[in-house]
Structure 1
Amino acid sequence: MPAHGRRDAAAAVFRPVRTRNAFEETVERLLQAIRLGVAAPGERLPAERELAARLGVSRVTLREAIRAVADAGYVESRRGRYGGTFVAEDLPGLPRPRRGAAPSGVELEDVLTLRRVLESGAAEAAAARSLSPADRQHLRVRLTDATDVAPGEEAEYRRRDSRLHLAIAEVTGSASLTSAVADVRTGVNELLDAIPLIGANIEHSDEQHRLIVEAILSGDAPAARAAMDEHLDGTAALLRGFL
């Protein structure tokens, strides 16, 4: 690729992160650069200070994102005078969901769009409803359960995460909506099973879950929808990056 073409592509990929999901979007940008060949196997990524400035994120966020991408086998760190972060020579194969082949871009966006419509709508509807004491307790229990995963039990996280999201649908009082959310979560979880569990993302999701539940319990429907939108955007960024 001509030098100017590589520079143009790098500028397009390593552009400032625009959302509050800085960690997840940074992971997505790094993986996008590798998958598109903007950063080729064996090539050194821009220096940390430069890359953080380009992406508009802190160096702490960038390091966490690089660590996640390294743990997944896409980059490696080298020390010494000519050290830095390099794209792995042998890149991992394309992750596969547990069932069937990897989704196409259209299929992935189809699932993500349906999820956003259903789950953001569920959060808004739950906040707009007069919740019973039992409903409120149900949400609090599921939130505590989802944010209280012990070290070494990360595989349990997605089951508890799913139960919290289903609980939000349940307290809307709509059996049809709850069934629809359960169906879409099945598809989402198959996609999530194809990507690594990332500690920094779990911590971020925990905080977002708290904000969503707080908005629902306070009866703030717009805030509940906005918080759920932001949460789903972070997950979508990771799925688009890895898949």
Structure 2
Amino acid sequence: MAAPDPADSSDASEALLRPVRPLNAFEDTVERLLQTIRLGVLTPGESLPPERELAARLGVSRDTVREAIKSLADAGYLVSRRGRYGGTFLADALPAPRADGTEMHRDDIDDAVRLREILEVGAARMAAVRTLAAVEREALRSRLADVRGADPADYRRLDSRLHLAIAEAAGVPSLVPLVAQNRMRLNELLDRIPLMTRNIAHSDEQHEAIVSAILAGDADTAAQTMAAHVWGSAALLHGFLD
């Protein structure tokens, strides 16, 4: 990788490390940091700006920056060093993509995510405006409990079951196979990126809010939270894959 011109690097860093959306602060922070890495704004061995500076530039808390850095370190992109000349540095060798050799492009990700938004935001809204039977309400609670306690190896599967339960609660039978097909495509993309503990915790919070809004009949909150949930996943996919 050719070293970028310092002036160009500074300009690019200013453009990329800009304030993130508050609803997906962690995911957007990861995406922005990955952009600086994958676009060559940072070179192997170069240090990140201090946490305090990153937090100010991204408009997030230092805890969010710290969690994003730790997640990227766990994934092999960053290295933390202690001591007088310590800090967080870009790894000398970046991880190889988790892929089957098929190249992914932004358009592929956007197509899957935008279809997901159309299907699942609509499903959450429809489920909230319906009068759900007791068995439907219990199914949502049960699927929510399953994914909250999921082992990482089972997380994608149980996450998919919850989203399918929301589609079923919408009361439109033909919607369910469409959501299932889209989830298969989405999971193929998600399997290419690492599971991040903070992202799982954030997803669990959003799942709880979505199901609670559906059960309370609050269609606007259900739809808005589902939209934020969808685009949180999209931020990570774009950060890692395109």
- Which residue does 1:133 correspond to in 2? 134
Q: Which amino acid aligns with 2:142?
A: V
Structure 1 runs, 4 residues or longer, greater than 6 Å off: none
- Displacement, 1:53? 1.1
- Which residue does 2:201 correspond to in 1? 203
**Mapped partners of 1:177, 1:25: distance in 2:** 29
* Number of aligned positions between the proteins: 238
- Displacement, 1:180? 0.3
- Which residue does 1:235 correspond to in 2? 233
The question of 1:13 aligning with 2:16 is answered: yes
The question of 1:114 aligning with 2:112 is answered: no
Q: 1:185-239, CA deviations, whole angstroms, 9 ceiling, x for partnerless residues?
A: 0001111111111111111111100100011111111111001011111111111
Q: 1:140-160, CA deviations, whole angstroms, 9 ceiling, x for partnerless residues?
A: 1111111122xxx21111111
Q: Is the 8 A contact 1:31 1:241 kept in 2?
A: yes
- Which residue does 1:103 correspond to in 2? 104
- Which residue does 1:143 correspond to in 2? 144
Q: Which amino acid aligns with 1:137?
A: E
- Which residue does 1:58 correspond to in 2? 61
**Mapped partners of 2:189, 2:172: distance in 1:** 26
- Which residue does 2:7 correspond to in 1? 4
- Which residue does 1:75 correspond to in 2? 78
- Displacement, 1:5? 1.7
TM-score (normalizing by structure 2): 0.95
Q: Is the 8 A contact 1:166 1:181 kept in 2?
A: yes
- Displacement, 1:95? 2.9
**Mapped partners of 1:29, 1:167: distance in 2:** 32
- Which residue does 1:87 correspond to in 2? 90
- Which residue does 1:219 correspond to in 2? 217
**Mapped partners of 2:210, 2:17: distance in 1:** 30
- Displacement, 1:2? 3.4
Identity among equivalent positions (%) equals 58
Q: Which amino acid aligns with 1:240?
A: H
**2:51 corresponds to which of 48, 51, 55:** 48
Q: Which amino acid aligns with 2:121?
A: S
- Which residue does 1:169 correspond to in 2? 167
Q: Which amino acid aligns with 2:114?
A: T
What secondary structure is seen at the aligned counterpart in 2 of 1:45?
A: coil
Q: Which amino acid aligns with 2:117?
A: R
Mark the runs of 5 or more structure 1 residues left unpaired by the alignment.
Answer: none
TM-score (normalizing by structure 1): 0.95
- Which residue does 1:33 correspond to in 2? 36
- Displacement, 1:48? 1.4
- Displacement, 1:128? 1.2
What secondary structure is seen at the aligned counterpart in 2 of 1:77?
A: strand
What secondary structure is seen at the aligned counterpart in 2 of 1:197?
A: coil
Q: Is the 8 A contact 1:129 1:172 kept in 2?
A: yes
Q: 1:3-35, CA deviations, whole angstroms, 9 ceiling, x for partnerless residues?
A: 322111000111111231111111111111000
What secondary structure is seen at the aligned counterpart in 2 of 1:76?
A: strand
